[in-house]
Amino acid sequence: MSLNDLFKQELKVVNLGLKSFHNDLKSQGVTVVQVNWKPKAGGKKNMLNLLSKLNKVKQS
Amino acid sequence: MIDIIETANKEALEIIQNGQPTLIGLGIAGEVIPGMAKDLFLHAGPPITWEKMSGPLKGGVMAGLMYEGLASTPEEAAEYAASGKLRFDPCHHHDAVGPMAGIVTSRMPVWIIENKAYGNRAYCTLNEGLGKVLRMGAYGPEVIKHLQWMERVLYPVLKETIEIHGPIDLKIMIAQAVQMGDEVHNRNKAATSLLIREIAPSILKTSFSNEDKIAVLEFLNSNDHTFLNLSMPAAKATLEPAGKVKHSTIVYTMARNGTEFGIRVAGLGKRWFTAPAEIIDGLYFPGFSMEDANPDVGDSCITETLGIGGFSMATAPAIVQFVGGTPKDAVRYTTSMYEITTEESRAYKLPPMNFRGSPTGIDIRKVIETQVLPVINTGIAHKEAGVGQVGAGIVHPPMACFEQALEAFVNLLEDEGLLED
């Protein structure tokens, strides 16, 4: 199926990321689900660094 | 092979799951709380000085001074509190917890809870009811008069009642209440009813006058929050032994003093990690708005630390009429708390979640990784001393508390040489 054929059908969208994309589609009557997703540790480098250090903790 | 953190967290969770909080009696704070003294006032949340206290805490301290007979007017009380003659310490440093301002003075009657599995005890004052009350920072003559009635009538009747009845298993009572529409933080209607049903015959058997017995039963029945001051020390008694497990990333204390929010993590001992307390998003009583609100205050989020309260809101859909939102939101709150916890309670089963156990054992790593903050439902005190409650709502701890704790935890493991290069 080509991409154009896809858009001729009823769209059912799963949106990750900016909620405004979800809101825009919803306002046009598109069936859309917003996934409550955030990058790990909110993308904060210092926190990602601390979490990665804990992956190297010694075994008991 | 699993790492030392997983081993430690398993041990901490086993302690929490095995806790047996039991009401064993009542006593006077100055006689039963460790380290309590006439010149020492306990307060909610992490440590704080008089100068940095918010309105509700200052109001509670002033009420406490007048109740203790150390001051006769609010002005005298404020002067006394600022004079340096009075010491302040968190309830949590003395095996105690206090709702809202959480002020405990030496004359106050307290419930005594024992964790039968580990032998430790926790203490909490008796709930004063709603309206103008010390815990919300009110200090008028009616507040002091009511505290005196609690000491003169309520306390001796309840003390003798529990002596006649014998110990009451609070774990079972809470487990029943969460199946009856309570989350035992801001909704305690079922739990209070269960308590009254349990102790009413023993109240009748006490040696006091019918007038006193009737007054006690009427007061308990008029106050849905009677059980809050039992669910809180029950949670405290359950969590406290887990706070001694080395290398565990499980949170065993969350508390607010109205200025700062503080957490304590098992593997980091008694150290507090604090940040400015948040303003609460909620429903305000007529005539009040967010402008009037004090930042988050009270030790009552010890219930959420255990996985009840806001963590179990799904089981208490009626509470949304008090704190805002919809029953669907309540389910969403509980569902999201499984993201940041380690186990499901073996005791507290939630019917609307298909009898899943309540989300138990907040892991600081999960909070940082998912950026999902613990959800707390709470009363809102007016920011000025002397006014009282102005609403109720939903609030979260500041993320900074968890970020500081994670950093301290990694530093500790590095110092101990427990991280591979």
Q: Where are the domains of chain B?
A: 21-168+195-234, 248-415
Answer yes or no: do A38 and B370 touch at CB < 8 A: yes
Strand order in the sheet with B251-257: B273-276, B260-265, B251-257, B297-298
A43 touches chain B (CB under 8 A): no
pTM for the full predicted model = 0.95
pLDDT value at residue B1:
55
The answer to whether the CB atoms of A51 and B403 lie below 8 A apart is no
**One-letter amino acid for residue B152 of the chain:** R
The per-residue pLDDT for range A12-59, each reduced to its tens digit, is 999 988 899 999 999 999 999 999 888 999 999 999 999 999 998 988
User: Hey, is the C-beta of B411 within 8 angstroms of any chain A C-beta?
Assistant: no
pLDDT less than 70: residues of chain B:
1
Rounded distance between C-alpha atoms, residue B365 and residue A54, angstroms: 9
Token pair belonging to B306? 């255990």
- Within 347-366 of B, beta carbons closer than 8 Å to A belong to 365
CA A17 to chain centre: 4
Domain covering B21-168+195-234 assigned CATH 3.90.1710.10 in the classification: yes
Quick one: closest CA in A to B6, which residue? Answer: A60
Which residues are within 8 A (CB) of B221 and not within 5 positions of it... i.e. 6 or more apart? B196
Q: Are B331 and B315 in contact (CB under 8 A)?
A: no
pLDDT of A46: 97
Q: Can you give the pLDDT at residue A5?
A: 83
Distance in Å, alpha carbon of A45 to nearest chain B alpha carbon: 12
User: Which residues does chain A have within 8 Å of residue B4's beta carbon, measured at their own beta carbons?
Assistant: 57-60
- Yes or no: say if A32 and A19 are a contact pair by the CB < 8 Å rule: no
| Per-residue pLDDT at B414 | 95
CB contact under 8 A, A57 and B2: no
What's the confidence (pLDDT) of residue A38?
Answer: 84
Decide if B420 and A57 are in contact by the 8 Å CB cutoff: yes
Between CA B403 and CA B348 the distance in angstroms is 29
Pick the CATH number of B248-415 from 3.40.50.300, 3.30.70.20, 1.10.3720.10, 3.90.1700.10: 3.90.1700.10
Closest residue by Cα to residue B306 from B238, B379, B364: B238
pLDDT of residue B405: 98
Residue from the list A54, A56, A60 with its beta carbon closest to the beta carbon of B365: A54
Q: Give the C-alpha separation, B100 to B116, whole Å.
A: 27
* pLDDT of A7 strictly over 80: no
How much is the ipTM here?
A: 0.91
Q: Which residues of B touch A51 (CB under 8 A)?
A: 365, 368-369, 406
Q: Are B368 and A51 an interchain contact pair (Cβ–Cβ within 8 Å)? A: yes
